[in-house]
Amino acid sequence: MEICLNQLSNEVQKLITNVKLSNQTLTITEDGIPLVIISPMIEKKRPSFGCMGDSLNILEDIVSPVVSESDWEANQ
């Protein structure tokens, strides 16, 4: 079930906005018995690992040294 926020009364809109801003739940009761719990949506975060996988192209060997070993200063 889904409803647009502006279709609700002003008082209910304020309560829902408060739930969102405070990041707390709202329990609606009848005679002390919980009927409905309204809680803020949790935003799904993109995982950091692999997030740029589509934007990288490996053109050459990335494991071998860039220059030959004979050119290394440490080998001289």
Q: What are the structural domains, with CATH classification, of the chain?
A: 1-40 (3.40.1620)
Extract the runs of DSSP E, i.e. beta strands, from 1-76: 26-30, 33-38
**Tens of pLDDT along the chain (76 residues)?**
888 989 999 999 999 999 999 999 999 999 999 999 999 988 877 777 777 777 778 788 888 877 777 777 776 6
What pLDDT is attached to residue 25? 95
CA distances to 45, 52, 61, 63, 65 from 58, rounded to whole Å, are 27, 13, 8, 11, 15
pTM of the full structure: 0.52
Say how far apart CA 75 and CA 67 lie, in whole Å. Answer: 12
Q: Are 19 and 25 in contact (CB under 8 A)?
A: yes
What pLDDT is attached to residue 40? 93
Output the six-digit token pair for 39: 């809680």
Q: Are 35 and 29 in contact (CB under 8 A)?
A: yes
